[in-house]
Amino acid sequence: MLKRKIEQCLTDWKNRPSHKPLIIKGCRQCGKTFSVLNFAKRHYKHVVYLNFFENPDYASVFSGSLDIDHMIMMLSALFPDTAVFEAGQTVLILDEIQDCPEARTALKFFHIDGRFDVIGTGSLLGVKGYGKEPKSIPVGSETVIDMYPLDFEEFLWANGITKPMIAMLKKYLEACTPIPDALHNRMRQLLLQYTVVGGMPEVVQTFVDTKQMNEVLHIQRDIVRSYKDDMIETKNPVFSMLSSVKCRNSQEINDFSTLSDTLFYPLFQSRKYLQCCSHSNPEGYRKSTVRPDNC
């Protein structure tokens, strides 16, 4: 199981006195639902979970009165065997809350009531044109945390690099002293892998488990397709830009050593830095000679 930094954020939120309902915002498939459910099962006696994307009918719970006792009665009727509401021991998880704007409006009343913790997750919150806008965004009655795919440090954890080892590396960097070759070479290898694998949890887990880049590429393509579907649904102009991007290397990759040798290893071995520059004519920029002093 991948260790995520969001776990500490969730713990800090729960330990904060009189904490507000929590909203976790982030892109599709960055691990929001898994992290929240894993946290809830470890810290609460009862977990009530609703996914508005998979089950749009759940929105009917919030379509009428937003009185807390009324909503609890509705949820108990909907989940007679699992919806147990005990003050201080129950967390209500509202997954894909952007598909039920009334549920986000209800956060204000859960905050006032204070008996139960509520965590909402949303993939497209704030995207104009997606779904309906809430009647009233609970300003001052919710805490919002942005969640992202795995950063490089989380990727290191996934690949067995411990926190003490990372702390030792930081000491070398802060002291501006040479890093031992063995550690330097390992970190360079992991950085190369991270640039190719990325930080999507499913992709990282697949890489850690199999080390097969074909499997990694398959998962990455599935994620891109799902993103395109979201863009079509929201009529996002980014879709046309993404559709114009073509893969420039169709070579099948069987293992990572081949990939690093053919694509990245010469770049890193050259010890040169690529300085990114703004340019109004990408085609002309590609053909021109890059000079750092012109950036």
Q: What is the mean pLDDT of the chain?
A: 80
Residue 1 lies in a domain: no
- Total length of the chain: 295
Rounded average pLDDT over 282-286: 40
Rounded average pLDDT over 96-123: 92
Tokens of 41: 């099962």
pTM of the model: 0.76
The H or E element spanning position 210 is helix 201-210
Give me the sheet containing 90-95, strands edge to edge.
Answer: 46-51, 90-95, 117-122, 22-25, 143-146
Same domain for 137 and 159: no
Distance CA 47, CA 91 (A): 5
Distance CA 118, CA 71 (A): 13
| Cβ(217)–Cβ(253) below 8 Å | yes
- 123-151 pLDDT tens trace: 866 544 445 565 667 678 899 999 999 99
**Which of 119, 146, 173 represents a domain boundary (last residue)?**
146
Segments forming the whole domain that contains residue 135:
6-146
- 39-54 pLDDT tens trace: 999 999 999 999 998 9
Same domain for 238 and 104: no
